[in-house]
Structure 1
Amino acid sequence: MASQEEPIQPTYRGYGTIAPQRPAQRQRRHSWHTRPCMQEAENFQLLLRNFLVELNCRMDFLEDYGHVKYDAGVEYAYNTLLAVRESCSKISDGAIEAGRRQASVFVETLEGRYKDAMERKETLGEKVLEGIVLMDNYLTEFETRAYAIRDGSIGSYAQEFYEEGRRKMDEGIEIAKGVVDGGLDKARRARETIELRVEHAVQRALERAKAHGLIHYEDLPEPWRVNPHILKGYRFQEGKWACVRSIFGLHNELINIWTHLLGFIMVLAIAFYFYPSSANFSMSTKADIFIAAVFFFAACKCLACSTIWHTMNSISHQTLLERFACVDYTGISLLVAASIMTTEYAAFYCEPVSRWSYMCITALLGVGGVILPWHPTFNRADMAWLRVLFYCSLALTGFLPFGQLAYTRGVAWAQYFYAPVTKSLLVYVTGALLYASKTPERFFPGFFDYVGCSHNIWHVAVLGGIIFHYMAMQTMFTQALTRAQTSCSVY
C-alpha cells in the first residue's frame, strides 16, 4: 500500500532566509504525494510537469488575494515561486527533451536561490523532488494566509464601512454645527442690530417729546406703533411717575384712561352699595354672594388693568411696555371667564354636578386666557384680529350648556334663560369688531386722534357690557332663587 507520509521540510534555506514552521497536518494534499518514492524518482519529469500545472493554478489563486502582506523572508520565497513559474513556462511542451529541460531549469532556478537545500541531493530526480517539496511548503503557507484574508475580509470591510460611515457622520455633524452656529450668529447680529435701531429711535422720540410734549405716530419707535390711523397726541416718557402724572394732561389716551378709571369706581359702587341693597342679596346664600363677588372682582381687575396699561403705554422701556400690555389682556380673560361662570351657576342652580362641571371647564379656559397673552406673538400689532377671535371664542363657550338645557327643559326655556345676556353680548361683540377693524379712524385718519376712535368705543363697550351683565345676573339669580323655593323638584 502506498505511503501517505508527508515529505520532511528542510529546516534551512539559502541566503540567510528562515524556513517557515509547518503545521502538524497538511491543509491540502496533491496527487503527486500518493506515489512511492521510487516511482516518483523514476517519473520525476511527469511529476514536475503536473506540479507546474498545479503551480499555475495555485499561483492564480494567490494573485486573486492581492491584500496578502509578506515579511522579507516570505516575500523572498514568493518571488522564488514566481521565478520558477516564469522560467519553466518558457519551455515549449512540444520540444524534444522538454521534460528534462524543465527539470534542469527548475533545479537551476532553485539552486540559485536555495543552494544549501539542493546540494544535499545528488541526482537530478532527487533535486526535482526536493524542490517540489520545498515549493509546495511555501504554496501551502501562502494559501493559509490567503484563506485567512478571505475569512477576515468581511469583518475588515465591515469595519472599514463603519469607520467610513462614522467619519462621514462626523463631517456632517461638523458641517451642520457650522451652519447652525452661523445661523445663530446671524440671528444674534440681526437681533442686536434691531435692538440698537430701537434704542436709537427711543432716544430720538424722548428728545422730541421733551422738546414738543406730544409727538406724532412717525416719531414713535416701532414697538410703540399700534394704530397708524391715530396720527398725533402721543406721550413718550422715560419714567413711571411721568406716565402717572400724564393722566391729567391732554393726549390721545385720555379717554381710554378715564373711561375705565371711572368705570372702576362705578363697579365698586355697584359691588359695595347697589348689590347689597338689592332684593336678591337678602335671599342669597354665601355661595351666591361668592359667585357675584368673583364677577365684581374680575370686572374691577379688568378695568384697573386697562387703566394701568393706557397710563403706562407711553413708557420708553420696551420690556415694561410689553408686560403692561399682558396685564391688560389677563384682565379681559378673567372678566370673560367670570361672566360665563355666573351664567352657568344660575343655569344649573339645582344641579350641582352639571354646575361645577361647566364652571371648572370655564375656570380652566380662563387660566389659559391668563397665560396665553404672555406669549410674545399675542401682543403684536398685527394680531388684533387674533385677539378678538380668541376672546369671542372664549365668550361663546358660555353657550355650551345651551344644548343640555334645551334637552332637559326645552328650547324655549333655554332661550328665555339666555335672553338677559344678549344685551351685554351684543355690546361686547360690537365693540370688539370696531376695535379690530380700527373703525372709524381708518376712514378719517387724524380726525379721531383724541376722541371717538375705535379704542374709545371699545372701552365704553366693555363698561357697558359689565353693567348689562350685572343686570342679567340679577335676573338669572332671581329665577334661580325662585326655583330653589320649590326645592328644584320640577327639574
Structure 2
Amino acid sequence: MDGVKHTSEDSELISETIEKLPVSVSREGKGKRLWKKVKYQLVEYNSLPAYLRDNEFILGHYRSEWPLKQVLLSVFTIHNETLNVWTHLIGFFLFLSLTIYTAMKVPKVVDLHSLQLPEVLKADLHKLQECLPSLPCMPDLHKLSGELKSTLPSIDLLPSFSRWHVMDLLYNCLPERFSHSNQTDVCVLRSMKEDVANMIAPLMLRPITRWPFFAFLGGAMFCLLASSTCHLLSCHSERLTYIMLRLDYAGIAALISTSFYPPVYYSFMCNPFFCNLYLGFITLLGVATILVSLLPVFQNPEFRTVRASLFLGMGLSGVAPILHKLILFRHQPEALHTTGYEVLMGIFYGIGALIYATRIPERWMPGKFDIAGHSHQLFHVLVVAGAYTHYQAGLVYLKWRDLEGCRGT
C-alpha cells in the first residue's frame, strides 16, 4: 500500500509540475528579456568600471560594457556621449562637403569680380593700342579684350603663361624710338604696361598647387571622425577603449600638424629653404607624435612627459613661421588678414582646451549637464569652429598666391 500511495502522490506531483511548467517557462523568458533591458540601461558614475571613469562631475546616463551592436545603435539614442559623437560627426561631414566644394571650384577661389577687370582692361588696352601701333610682337588688343571679357565667367586659365611672361612680352614691344629719347614717355608707357600686365596675368595663370590645403582638410576630417568614433565605441570594452583613445590622440596630432601646411607653404613658397625647413620640422613632430600616440610602448607612465612635450611642441612650432611671415610681408594686407584668422583659431582652441581642463560648467552643478552642455561638448564645438576659421584663412592664402605669385617676395 505504501508503494502504491507513494506512486500516486508522485503522479499527482508530476501532473502539477507539468501544469505549472508553461507558466514557469513563460516567466523565465520574460525575466530574461527584462534582465536584457535592464542590462543595457544607462548607469551612474559609481557603477562604472575604473577605465570608464573620467569625469566625476557627470553623474549619470553612462553606457557601460554594452555589446557592439547595441553600442552602434546607441548613436541614435540619448546618453551623455550623444552630443560628443554628433558634434564631431557633423563637423566631419561639414569638412567633407568643404573639401568636395573646394576641389570642384579650384579656379574660382580667386575673386575676379573684385578686380573690376572688364571696364578697366578695355580702356587700358585701347590706350596701349594707340601707343604701340602696328608692332609685329603685339597681339590684336581689341580682339584680346573681347576674348578676355568672354572668358571671365568660366575662368579657364591658359596653361603656358605667367605674370612675368606677360610683362616681358609687353616690355619687348617698346618702340625703338623710346629707347634713347623722351624718358618721361618711357616711364608712362612702362607704368601703363605694368598695369595692363598685372590685370591680364591672373587670367593666364594656372592656380597654384592645392595639396597643402587639402592636406589640412584631410587632417581635420581624420581628427573629427576619429574623435566621433572614439566617443561612440569606447564603452564596449577596456581593450576597445584603449584602441579608440590612441586613435583619438593620433587624430589630434594629425590636425595640429597639417594645420601648419597651408600657412607655411603659401607664405614661403618662394623661399624654398624656409619652406622646407618649417614643413620638415612640423612633419617630423607630427609623425613622432602620431607614433607615440599609437605604439603601446609609449603608453607607460614614464613616457607621459614625452607625450605632453610633443603635443606642446607641435602647437608652439607655428609661432616662428607666423612671426616670420609678418616680418617678411608686413606691407601685404593678406599677411595681416591670414594672421587674424590664425589668432582667432588659436583663441577657439585655447578656450576649448581651458574649458576641457577645468571641466566647466559641470563642476559648478554636478549632474545638471550630463546630457547637454558639459565641457567636452563645448570643447568639440570650439574645435570645429577653430578648424573652420583656418579653412577661411586657407582661402585667403590661395587667392593671394593665385593673383600675386612670387611678385614682390
Q: Structure 2 length as normaliser, TM-score?
A: 0.62
Q: Which residue of 1 aligns with 2:362?
A: 441
Give 5+ residue unaligned stretches, structure 1.
Answer: 1-206
Structure-2 separation of matches of 1:437 and 1:377? 29
Is 1:314–2:235 an aligned residue pair? yes
| 2:374 counterpart residue number | 453
Distance 1:286 1:274 in 2: 13
The question of 1:475 aligning with 2:396 is answered yes
Q: Does 1:332 align with 2:252?
A: yes
**Of residues 210, 214, 228 in structure 2, which corresponds to 1:289?**
210
* Paired positions, count: 280
Q: What is aligned with 1:254?
A: 82
The percent identity for this pair of structures is 28
Aligned counterpart, 1:421: 342
Q: Is the contact between residue 405 and residue 411 of structure 1 (CA under 8 Å) also seen in structure 2?
A: no
1:392-407 to 2 correspondences below 5 Å: 392-407=312-327
Q: 1:223 aligns with which of 45, 48, 51?
A: 51
- 1:432 pairs, out of 348, 353, 358, with 353
CA distance in structure 2 between the partners assigned to 1:258 and 1:324 by the alignment: 16
- Cα-Cα RMSD: 3.1
2 CA distance for matches of 1:292 and 1:405? 18
Match of 2:262 in 1: 342
The SS at the match of 2:269 is coil
Report the secondary structure of 2:209's partner residue.
helix
- Matching residue of 2:408: 490
Q: For the Cα contact (< 8 Å) 1:392–1:429, is it kept in 2?
A: no
State whether residues 343 and 473 of structure 1, in contact with CA within 8 Å, keep that contact through their aligned partners in structure 2: yes
Report what 1:197 is aligned to.
none
| 1:280 aligned partner | 109
Q: Could you say which structure has the greater relative contact order, defined with CA pairs below 8 angstroms and 6 or more residues apart?
A: 2
8 A Cα contact 2:42 2:62, kept in partner: yes
Distance 1:482 1:463, change over 3 A: same
Equivalent residues in 2 for 1:1-20, closer than 5 Å: none
2: CA distance, partners of 1:313 / 1:436: 20
Q: Does 1:269 align with 2:97?
A: yes
Contact 1:349 1:480 in 2 (8 A): no
Separation in 2 of the partners of 1:295 and 1:307? Answer: 18
Change (3 A) 1:390 1:432: farther
Q: How many angstroms does 1:394 deviate by?
A: 1.7
Answer whether contact 2:338 2:393 (CA < 8 A) is retained: no
The Cα offsets for residues 432-481 of structure 1, whole Å up to 9 and x where unpaired, read as 11011111111111111010000000111111112111001101222222
1:214 equivalenced with 2:42 (yes/no):
yes
Rg (Cα) greater in structure: 1
Q: Structure 1: which 4+ aligned runs deviate by more than 3 Å?
A: 207-212, 281-287, 374-381, 383-393, 402-417
Counterpart contact for 1:271–1:293, Cα < 8 Å: yes
Q: Does 1:352 align with 2:272?
A: yes
Secondary structure (helix, strand or coil) at the match of 2:104 reads coil
Does the aligned pair in 2 maintain the 1:326–1:374 contact within 8 Å?
yes
CA distance in 1, matches of 2:320, 2:374: 34
Alignment of 1:6-405 (within 5 A): 210-211=38-39, 213-274=41-102, 276-277=104-105, 279-280=108-109, 288-316=209-237, 318-374=238-294, 391-405=311-325
TM-score by length of 1: 0.52
Q: Could you tell which deviates more after superposition, 471-480 or 244-253? A: 471-480
1:391-413 Cα offsets, whole Å, 9 max, x none, are 45422311212443355444987
Return 5+ residue gaps in structure 2 as ranges: 1-34, 111-154, 158-204
Kindly state the Cα deviation for residue 240 of structure 1 after the two structures are TM-superposed.
2.1
